[in-house]
Structures are given as structure tokens and as C-alpha cells.
Structure 1
Amino acid sequence: MDIKRPLLIAALAIVSYTLVFQWNKDYGQADLPTAKTQTSVLPGDTPNVPTDVPADAKAAAPVDNSTAQASTALIKVRTDVLDLAIDPRGGDIVQLGLVQYPRRQDHPDVPFMLFDNGNERLYLAQSGLTGANGPDANSAGRPLYTSAQSSYVLADGQQQLVVDLKYQANGVDYTKRFTFHRGLKVDCSDAEKAQKKITCINPNAYQIQVSYLIDNQSANAWNGVLYAQLKRDKSGDPSATTATGVSTYLGAAVGTPAEPYRKVSMSDMDKNRLQEAVQGGWVGWLQHYFVTAWVPNKDEQHQITTRKDAQGNYIVGFTGPQFSVPAGGKGETSLTLYAGPKIQEHLKTLSHGLELTVDYGFLWFIAQPIFWLLQHIHSILGNWGWSIIVLTIIIKLLFFPLSAASYRSMARMRAVGPRLQALKEQHGDDRQKMSQAMMELYRKEKINPLGGCLPIVVQMPVFLALYWVLLESVEMRQSPWMFWITDLSAKDPFFILPIIMGATMLVQQMLNPAPPDPMQAKVMKMMPIVFTFFFLWFPAGLVLYWIVNNCLSILQQWYITRKIEAASKKA
């Protein structure tokens, strides 16, 4: 027996694996950012205060420099789930890291940065008071707030942290109040915290309430308009920055009572400016796994807008109705900022349609039940990898009758293989007579020649839906299974699972009857290699699903084939 060819193929496979593995090692991980020290907004940055305010509220407020000596250093705030910085110039949130979501698993102390003011990208949450007397409408620029402390930390046992920023102008005292909440429940175990179980996280963990308290001690009525916006540059999604990163939607979205979820991409903002009056609603910015959104008072009328500033940054926001505070009186207005992971249970309680930012694509009606079932399995097993395996078994049981019918057809085709070969020898090169005789044989033996394709066709919608579940669900992010699989949402770092998947495809192919057409037979032999290459970059959880599904199919097909071949021998 000539062993040169198998040895050559094995050597080529080893070299190919080594090259791909080394390439993935060199280019598969994004570098960690280098922090830069900053005080206020970036040089040359413009405040982008909206001008779409009621016509009777556009009078410029007089300039007051009473707070000109206030510090411009960023105000640091840290809770058990958020690590952020507030710019005293305007009181914007210019940095925000998610403590419970490390940027990389090998650096658990480096949080994923959602908002950033220029270390890697420009991404800010801005809000203020404009209009006739609003301090953000001053021609001298936005107000410079003062704070009693330069940093705030949520203490152990403390459920709420309040940060007040102060500003005074023209006899009016302003307080911009940020209210933060404890993210993790007190009774959570260390295992629950490590696994980021939804039941362990408070529903308002990533909600920041922003309130404006106005104490008008002047002799005149105060009039103003509340606005809030998200400003971002056109840089890419930090959740998909590797060479093999997946591409999910990066852009703005708005929600209205009439249309709970509508995407507004950056290309849409390049072409047109959205301007729409709505009751309540929300405006947000989406990226892989995470979302930020301003949610105003649902009982008020707001003007939702999108635009692009002179620096090329994209802005989505809203302006509220004009409100007044009488002379000698006090007033308050507030809104909510959500900045965190796309946890559907928490988002839907905040505003209608916000949970739809977990976008499962056109197969959402299949993906949602899959995620619901997967979530319930996980609540019992506590491991997403084993949950995927159990989910695969359940799906396989649901499709068992359909798969069984297909495998019986293939088994019969395999059993009549010698008779097909005899027909081929009998009719020689007469393709027409050969086709007629073959179809007559299929009809007599009740064989469906396309039956082998049916299981794959049936499974494809489930496969695609599960792909989006694993891709979009933040619960899967950095979730381990066992051994070397430390992140089911990322590709296998050693490509072992895709190779196993390719081997299971090869075994399946050996159980199937060979196609009568030689060219088709060659193409089918290449399929395991082609699929293995594609699956190298797929999430490990998805490859795990496909392996388990293939193994179950092999067992089912082997049993049915053996049963039919035994029956044919008796006959």
C-alpha cells in the first residue's frame, strides 16, 4: 500500500493548522488602550447645543462668570457596576466603563469602555438646559459646574449614590443631580456574580437618573428647555475590532409609540436629518452587546432629532417642551440614561421597544423562543455550554420524525446501490434510459432522491436563529464552557471544535449513499473541508451546537440504516 499520499495530506494539514493558529495568535486580539489624562472636553470640540427649541424660548441668556474659577478636572464616580467620569463643563458623562464586563478575559481589571472622550473614540452622553434662560444657551459656552468632591464611590451597604453639580447665574441656582444605583443584589453568591446571572443584577443597575433642580431667586420667571443627546464619531465597534470580528449593527435607533424600534444608521444621517415630534419615546445608540439610551418623561411631547456636526460626529437626541419656574419658586425636571448591556428583561421595563435593540434579525420569531428556552435551561444547569448541548437535544427530538423519514430514504438508497450500479452498466452512456430506469427504481422502492437534503434545509433557519442568539445575547459574552473554551461567543482559540465538526461531517458522509454523478461525488467529498474552514471563525457555542447535532444525526442514521439493511437481507 502506497502511504506517500496520506502522509503528504497529513503533513499539509498540520502545516495549515499551525499557520492559521499562529496568525490568530498574532492578529486575533485587539490591543488594550493606553489611557490618556484629560480634564474637560477635547480641544476644538463644540458643545453641539440643539437650536431646535420653541420660537418664544430662543432669547440668549446673559453671560455670568460667577463660576469661572471652578475646577475643570473630571469628576470620578464609581459603583459596583460603573466606573465613569463627568465633565464639569456642561455636566456631560464623557467616560464610562462597565466593571462587570471586562474588555478582555485575560485582563479582568480593565473594564469595557462604553463612553470615551478621545482615548480611542469620541462617544459622550450630553444633557442640559437651553431656551430663553437655560445656562447651556449662553454665548460664552456651557456652564462650568462645581462639585463638593472630586470623586465619589458607592460604599458597601449603600444602595444609592447621589452626585450633585452646582451652578449659579443671574439669581438662579442650578443643581444637576446624578443618581446611581447598586448593580448587584446583596444576596448574590460569588458564582452568580461570576456568571453574570440576570437574577443577580438589579433591574435599574445601569440606569442613571439625571435631574435638574432649579431654584429661581431672581425677580423674573425662568423659562427653559431640557435637551439630551448622544454624540459619537464614526469609529468602528470596539466589540468587533479583531481581524475575525463579527459585524453587527452600529448606529442610532429611536423609539416612538407608533414605531417602538427604528434604526437610524450613520449613512441615514449623512443623507437626511430626522426631526419628529413624539409623545415620550427614546433615543439610543447601539453596538455589539451594549446600548445607550436617553429616556425622557413618557407623558411629555418631545422633538427627536438626528444630525451631523461640523467635526463629522453623529448626534441623536431630543428636546423637551418649554417649562417655567416662577420668580421665587423652585422647579425640577428629570430623565433617565441607560448605559450598559442589552439585557432584555431590564430594557423592556424602562421603555417600550427598548428591548428590541437586542436585534435577532429577520428570524427573530425563531430566535426569541430559542433564547427563552436556552435561558431557562441555563437557570437549572448554570453553564451556557451544557445548556447549548441540552437545547440541541431538545431541538433534535422535535425534528426527530422528519429526520427519521429522510434517513430512511437515504438508507434505502444505500441498500439499492448495487442495483443502481447494475443499471449503469446495463445502459452504458445512454443517459436518458439510465435516468428513466433510475427514477422507476426510486418510485418502486419509495425513495426520495432529495430526502438527504431535507434535514439540512429544515435545520438552517434554526441554525441561523441560534447564530444570532449567540451573537447578540450579552449573556453569552465571555461565558466559559470547559477546558480551553473560555468564551462561547468567540471562536475556538485552538480551532479544535471546528476540526471535530468537520470529522463528524465526514462520518455522516460515509453513512450516506454516494451520488451517482462523479462530479457531484467529488464536490460532496470537499464539503467537510469547506465547512471546517468556514466554522473556524464561528462562535464556539454555535460550533458546539453543530457538533452535538451531527453526533445525534450519526447515531440516528446509523440505527435506521442498520435496521433497513437487516430487513433487506431477510427479504
Structure 2
Amino acid sequence: MDVKRIVLLISLALVSYLMVLQWNQDYHSPAPSVATSAPAPSVTTASSNAVEDERLHLGEAPTPAAQAASPQALIQVTTDVLDLRINPRGGDITYAALLQHKQRANTPDQPFVLLQQDNQRTYIVQSALEGLANRGRIQFQASQSQYQLQEGQDSLQLDLAATIDGIPVVKRFVFQRDSYEVKVSYLLDNTSAQALETRFIGLIKRDNSVDPSQGEALGMSAFLGAAFSSEENHYEKLEFDELRERRYLSEVQGGWVAMIQHYFVSAWIPDAQQTNLYSTRTDNQGRNIIGFKGAAQRIEAGQQAEISANLYLGPKIQSRLEAAAPYLELTVDFGWLWFIAQPLFWLLDLLHDFLGNWGWAIIVLTLLIKLAFFQLSATAYRSMANMRKVGPKLQQLKEQYGDDRQKMSQAMMELYRKEKINPMGGCLPILVQMPVFIALYWMLMESVELRHAPFMLWIDDLSMKDPYFVLPILMGASMFVQQLLNPTPPDPMQAKIMKMLPIIFTFFFLWFPSGLVLYWVVNNVLSIAQQWVITRQIEQQGTS
């Protein structure tokens, strides 16, 4: 019984750890730290001729007042999925709202804001050309202040024009219908008498403010920071603290650089056929800057050229990310059990396509998982039922041997041998299933598809807590019923812990996302039905 108790307490500790994460996220999130100065650089990987270029400056380092533009000066671009504001000074994207994703479920008229530059947050996307950038941020001109993708249009093009030292420069943004990808290009007409050499520079700048998509009822603390990709290292993450402690520098072919938060991502995707220099730094205000510098492009006198890169601004939907760039779908981080979580999501997505509702998809997925572990669960329940059957005999042994734990243990083992009961039979099958439960937990937390997804009746957002706490109460009640079917532990302390579990779980699950609580409720109900049938069968065998 000591081994069984240890296994039970390990399982309890694991679940309690997940609950502590939930409680800490909801009520004890630390205030974001702000660095006052950039630390000395440290190089991760780079070719020798790239080190001098690591800072990836866009020319001058403007003050916040110089960076920001009045709302009237910004150029508005609206597609069916994006609402952007572009600063004509430099052509920076300083605001991006995702029209198909709401700020909150109860504010349908307020889209989720990914990029912004105001007193609340600085999170912008910048780009420039090396050489031209050294002359300072270019002041572009547009033919109009508002652009909108019209009904029946498949694409929208915005051209910003300027002339630098007599060289015409056009910065072009191309948007596609139902797409979060933006093609950013520089069109150069070298009318000078000399060859021009330049590179595309793409940056993402973000301060240390909290993740606005984290929500108020998440059971996890989602990653917030930078990520890079190459053929050698498909997915590498760096938290903001790491960016301040050391400089990342890597020169690879293709790849991408991204700023990641819960549910959403922004990413620069340069030409996959060229060698790109990826780098990080922090500015004197402690803001985190990540980006890339593309391969050198030589434009002979009298020639024209187009230098471009793609930009992704949107939700972490795996199919869209996979289409945008190789390995970009890895930003949907299912944790160390991703090899279990990924097939579970594939099945959940397939069920949603058939059922049309994520709540019912979770229910059916729970049923399928229960069927997959049916025989394993049956073994555990038979062991519990046999333990329950010999409960009166165990109580007699306890009364007989009192506090003599050694004799009590020997007598119990003899009883188990006589009754052909494996005391570990009820624990090991449950432990085997724990990785699946944990993988499902992280999968439900990380999937943007469940954000603001309604189920039925009062559940209008499966990623948020049950507003009336009905599901957590049902979950606690189902745990209590399960305990009635389980054998009473002979150890008084263990018995007290088991009695408290339904109350403890109910309390913590009050703030868990309703999609996850729905899974637990359905799983418990199915477990109760299976356990009740097996317990009745064994009890009837004992009386026959």
C-alpha cells in the first residue's frame, strides 16, 4: 500500500502543479520588467563577416515622439481580415487589428489588436533598405489616406513613393483576400550613374508589456518572446529576459523570425533561397527588437529591381502558418508532449469539421479517448472493485493489528495474494493515461480555434471560465460519485486527502477554461458508467 500511496500522491502533485500554474496566472502575474539599458552583446552563431552588422539599425534611432505619427497622418488599409495603420515615415506598420478575432467574446464590434503604438503598448513592424536607411527614415507619400479591399477584389496594392538622392523608390504592400500574409517590396529604379548595393531589413519591435491575449481564465502561462527558424534548428525560442542577457546572431539560408504570444504571431519571412542574417537587440528604452537582414542586392546603373519579403500578422492557425513558411506552424507550441497533442488536435479538428461545434467535438474526442483506453481502464476498475470487495476484511485486519504497521502490511499482502488482487492494478493504468491527459490539456490551451468558440446554452466561449460555474460544480460532483465507487483507503490520512479532492478540484476548476472542464466532466461521467458496471459485476460474482 505504501507504493500505491506514493503513486497516488505523485499523480495528485502533478495535477496540483497544473492548478498552481492556473492560480498564479490568474491572480499573481508579475508586473513586466523593463530594462533600462541594453547589455553587452554576445554572439550565438554567425559567420565572421556578419558580426559588424548585428545591430540591424534602420538608419537613425528616432525618439518616441519622432517615431509616432498623428492618427490623421497614418494610412489606413482594410481587408476582409486585417485593419492596418501604416506610418508614411518609414512605411512602418504601427497598428494591426484582426477583424475575424474579437478582443473579447462579449465585444463583437472590437477586433483583437495585435500591433499598436500608444501609451499602453509598443508593438510594431518596421522595414527598410540598407544604404537608403542610412540617410534616415524615408518620408513616403501615398495617393490617398485610406485603402480598402472591395467586394469582388482578390488583392489590394498600396504604393508609397519617395525619391532619395534622385533615385525613385516605391515601397509596395500587397494584400490578398482571406490572408494574413502581406508582401512588402521595395521597387528601385537606379537612375544614377553608379551601381547601388542594398539589403532588405525587417524588424519587429515590442516592449515588455503583458500579453493581451493571455486572458483571465487560462490554465497556463503561454510563451511570450521571440522565435527563429532555420534548416538546422527548425524552432528556437528566446524569452525577453534572454534577449536582454545575450544577443542572438545567426546567418542561415531561408528561415524566419517571429514574435510570439498566446494565440497570435507576427513573423518576417524572407526569401527562402537567400542567406539571411538574423539578430536581436534591445534599445535604450528596454524594448525588444528582433529581425533579419537579407542578402546583398546589386543594382547596376540604369537597371530596376524589386527586393521583397513576406510578413505574417495573424492567429496561430496551423494550416495557414504551414502555408506561409516551413516550420512556422511550430509556433503553435503544444509542449514536450507535442507528439501526442498534435494527433489529438488533428482528430479534434476533423470532428469539428463534421460536427460544426468545438464543444461537441471535445465531447466526441473524449469518448474516443475513453474507448481507446477502455481495456486499460477496465483493468484499473476491476482492481478497485476487488479492493472494495475486501474492504471489510482490511478493516478487520486494521482492528486486529492496530498500530503494528509491519504485521498489518504482512497481513494485507497475504490477503491480496489469497484473493489474487494486485494492489498496483488500479494505479498503473491511470499513470499510463496521464501523458494523454496532459497533452490534451496543453492542446486545448494553445489552440486559437477554441478562442471565443461557443458551445451551447450559457457557454459562449470555450476558452474562458464558465460564467455560472455549472461545469466545475458538475465536475466536482462527478469526482465525489467516483469516490463512492472506489475502495476506502485504510490509511486515515490518505482517506482524508481523497475526501478533500472533489472540493479542491472544484475550487481550482472554477477559473479553468470551460472547454477543458467540459472534457473532465464528460471523462468523469464515462468513467463512472464503466466503473459502476464493472463494480456491479464483481460484487455479483462475490455473492453468487
- 2:176 counterpart (165, 170, 181): 181
Within 5 Å, which residues of 2 pair with 1:24-63?
Answer: none
SS at match of 1:107: coil
Within 5 Å, which residues of 2 pair with 1:78-97?
Answer: 78-97=78-97
Deviations 1:406-441 (A, max 9, x none): 111111111112222232333344332222111111
The Cα of 1:169 is off from its aligned counterpart by 2.0
Q: 1:112 to 1:415 in 2, by over 3 A?
A: same
SS at match of 2:294: strand
2:200 aligned partner: 226
Q: Letter of the aligned partner of 2:343 in structure 1? A: P
SS at match of 2:289: strand
The Cα of 1:120 is off from its aligned counterpart by 2.1
Say whether residues 1:150 and 2:124 are aligned partners: no
Q: Distance in 1 between matches of 2:292 and 2:459?
A: 44
- 1:307 counterpart (243, 262, 281): 281
1:495 aligned partner: 469
Q: Distance in 1 between matches of 2:216 and 2:512?
A: 13
Q: 1:381 to 1:290 in 2, by over 3 A?
A: same
2:7 aligned partner: none
Q: 1:245 to 1:422 in 2, by over 3 A?
A: closer
Asked if 2 retains the 8 angstrom alpha-carbon contact of 1:410 and 1:447, the reply is no
Q: Distance in 2 between matches of 1:407 and 1:162?
A: 64
Q: Distance in 2 between matches of 1:122 and 1:254?
A: 21
The Cα of 1:325 is off from its aligned counterpart by 1.6
1:107 aligned partner: 107
The Cα of 1:225 is off from its aligned counterpart by 1.7
2:12 aligned partner: none
Q: Distance in 2 between matches of 1:432 and 1:385?
A: 51
Asked if 2 retains the 8 angstrom alpha-carbon contact of 1:409 and 1:446, the reply is no
Deviations 1:127-181 (A, max 9, x none): 01112xx2x211xx31100000100010000000000000012221001000001
Q: 1:447 to 1:239 in 2, by over 3 A?
A: same
- 1:525 counterpart (483, 499, 515): 499
Q: Letter of the aligned partner of 2:74 in structure 1? A: L
- 1:283 counterpart (234, 257, 277): 257
The Cα of 1:242 is off from its aligned counterpart by 3.5
Tell which deviates more after alignment, 250-259 or 321-330. 321-330
Deviations 1:65-93 (A, max 9, x none): xxxxxx98100000110001000000011
Aligned length: 487
Say whether residues 1:159 and 2:154 are aligned partners: yes
* TM-score, normalising length: structure 1: 0.82
1:463 aligned partner: 437
The Cα of 1:113 is off from its aligned counterpart by 0.7
Asked if 1 retains the 8 angstrom alpha-carbon contact of 2:267 and 2:312, the reply is yes
SS at match of 1:303: strand
2:130 aligned partner: 130
Deviations 1:165-216 (A, max 9, x none): 0001222100100000111xxxxxxxxxxxxxxxxxxxxx100000110012
Q: Letter of the aligned partner of 1:137 in structure 2? A: N
Q: Distance in 2 between matches of 1:418 and 1:53?
A: 79
Asked if 1 retains the 8 angstrom alpha-carbon contact of 2:171 and 2:184, the reply is yes
SS at match of 1:179: strand
Asked if 1 retains the 8 angstrom alpha-carbon contact of 2:380 and 2:430, the reply is no
Within 5 Å, which residues of 2 pair with 1:401-480?
Answer: 401-480=375-454
Q: Distance in 1 between matches of 2:206 and 2:401?
A: 70
The Cα of 1:223 is off from its aligned counterpart by 2.0
Asked if 2 retains the 8 angstrom alpha-carbon contact of 1:212 and 1:334, the reply is yes
Deviations 1:364-422 (A, max 9, x none): 01100100111111110010101001001110111111111111111111111222223
Asked if 1 retains the 8 angstrom alpha-carbon contact of 2:217 and 2:511, the reply is no
Asked if 2 retains the 8 angstrom alpha-carbon contact of 1:72 and 1:89, the reply is no
The Cα of 1:333 is off from its aligned counterpart by 0.9
Q: Letter of the aligned partner of 1:424 in structure 2? A: K
Within 5 Å, which residues of 2 pair with 1:515-554?
Answer: 515-554=489-528
Asked if 1 retains the 8 angstrom alpha-carbon contact of 2:218 and 2:512, the reply is no
The Cα of 1:450 is off from its aligned counterpart by 3.0
2:328 aligned partner: 354
Percent of residue pairs bearing the same amino acid type: 57
The Cα of 1:53 is off from its aligned counterpart by 7.2
Asked if 2 retains the 8 angstrom alpha-carbon contact of 1:305 and 1:317, the reply is yes
SS at match of 1:479: coil
Q: 1:428 to 1:217 in 2, by over 3 A?
A: closer
Deviations 1:299-341 (A, max 9, x none): 1111110000111110110111221222222111111000000
Asked if 2 retains the 8 angstrom alpha-carbon contact of 1:53 and 1:225, the reply is no
Tell which deviates more after alignment, 144-153 or 319-328. 319-328
Asked if 1 retains the 8 angstrom alpha-carbon contact of 2:156 and 2:176, the reply is yes
SS at match of 1:488: coil
Q: Distance in 2 between matches of 1:433 and 1:273?
A: 64
Q: 1:491 to 1:346 in 2, by over 3 A?
A: same
Q: Distance in 2 between matches of 1:223 and 1:435?
A: 83
Q: Distance in 2 between matches of 1:52 and 1:145?
A: 31
Q: 1:499 to 1:243 in 2, by over 3 A?
A: closer
**Structure 1 spans left out of the alignment, 5+ residues:** 1-23, 29-50, 62-70, 184-204
The Cα of 1:455 is off from its aligned counterpart by 4.6
SS at match of 1:109: coil
Q: CA RMSD in A?
A: 2.3
Q: Letter of the aligned partner of 1:180 in structure 2? A: F
The Cα of 1:230 is off from its aligned counterpart by 0.3
SS at match of 1:305: strand
Q: Distance in 2 between matches of 1:122 and 1:245?
A: 26
Q: Letter of the aligned partner of 1:276 in structure 2? A: S
Deviations 1:452-506 (A, max 9, x none): 3335423321221111111111111110110111111111122111111000000
Q: Distance in 2 between matches of 1:250 and 1:393?
A: 34
SS at match of 1:156: coil
**Structure 2 spans left out of the alignment, 5+ residues:** 1-22, 28-49, 61-70
2:360 aligned partner: 386
Q: 1:424 to 1:147 in 2, by over 3 A?
A: same
Say whether residues 1:363 and 2:358 are aligned partners: no
2:13 aligned partner: none
* TM-score, normalising length: structure 2: 0.86
SS at match of 2:427: helix
